[in-house]
Amino acid sequence: MRKLIFHLLICVVVFAAGAQDRVAVRYKVSNRDTDRGDVKTYEMMLASSPDKSLFYNTMSLYVDSCNSTPQGKAALEEIQMKAWTVVQPDGSVTLDGRKLGLAPDKNEYLYVEKDRVNKKLKVYDRKAGDLYQYEEPFGEQEWTIVEDSTKNILGFDCLFAYSDYHGRRWNVWFTPEIPIQDGPWKLYGLPGLILAADGADDFVVEALEIGTTSQNIPSVYSEDDYDKGERRRILADHEHYINNFLSRLAAKGIKLNSDGGSSDLPKYDRKHRAWETDY
């Protein structure tokens, strides 16, 4: 039961160095990974300990925890249907898309797990319409620290650093005041916690709150549901899937606009939609 409600129990408080060895950080993430390339923002959590960490969306973790058991899945579906459906005067039931935010739902599929004991980084995500996981070793990020460039974020003095990683240059601010070699997404390896990161093309991550927690670091639910693959192959297949999915709809005369007009959706632009562009 503790795992089911972990995201509700994380207490974000003023950080005191040495108070606890588990840190919780709430980040705002911005990018253009949408059909039309508009900037979207959403929140992610980093729960980090000396042995492991998980970067995740709290609502997604809650939904996955419910769906991991038959009883939880049934309860969640009942809540969703009550919130999303409308009974018409003739007795028919319709789904009101305007109510989708009124019940727990999963919109973000990304999980990044860092295993510091075994020196492995594991990613779980939904790509090309399916769930995938892959691993990569630690040590792929080489940082240059600019010690005379400083900034204060949420009351913590930060230093500037940058690294070329999987097709992007990541400019980050990290604080030695929180001596944890971790950060949002896959970013790690600096002598302090990364509080802000900019990968260009509107890929921006900013810390909103920092605190400590006595809770265990959560794990990804239903891990066996994720097919194993190789990072570059998964990303390339996803781009191909998106472009051909739209083409197949157009070939069948299916219009994505409610007025029946052409969707005119742009081709997948990895520079503006993919965290990594080196595939």
Say yes or no to pLDDT of 75 above 60: yes
Q: What is the C-alpha to C-alpha distance for residues 96 and 93, in angstroms, rounded to an integer?
A: 10
Q: Residue 97: which pLDDT band, with cuts at 50, 70 and 90?
A: confident
- pLDDT (tens digit per residue) in 147-179: 899 999 999 999 999 999 999 999 999 999 999
How many C-beta neighbours within 10 Å does residue 52 have? 19
Q: Look at 118-122, 216-220, 232-236, 256-260 and tell me which has the smallest mean pLDDT.
A: 256-260
Summarize the confidence of residues 247-253 as an average pLDDT. Answer: 72
The backbone torsions φ and ψ at residue 138, rounded to the nearest 5 degrees and listed phi first, read -70, 160
How far is it, in rounded angstroms, from Cα 115 to Cα 50? 9
Q: Give the span between the Cα atoms of 232 and 100, in whole angstroms.
A: 33
Bridge-based pairing state of the strands 227-228 and 130-137: parallel
Q: Which of 158-162, 179-183, 261-265 has the lowest mean pLDDT?
A: 261-265
What would the pLDDT profile of 111-154 be if each residue is shown by its tens digit?
Answer: 999 999 999 999 999 999 999 999 999 989 999 999 899 999 99
Average pLDDT value for the chain: 88
- The answer to whether the CB of 179 falls within 8 A of the CB of 197 is no
User: Token pair of 166, please?
Assistant: 């999987």
* Rg value, the chain, Cα: 21
**Residue range 26-32: average pLDDT?**
97
- Whether residue 104 contacts residue 63, with contact meaning beta carbons closer than 8 Å, is answered with yes
* The pLDDT of residue 20 is above 80: no
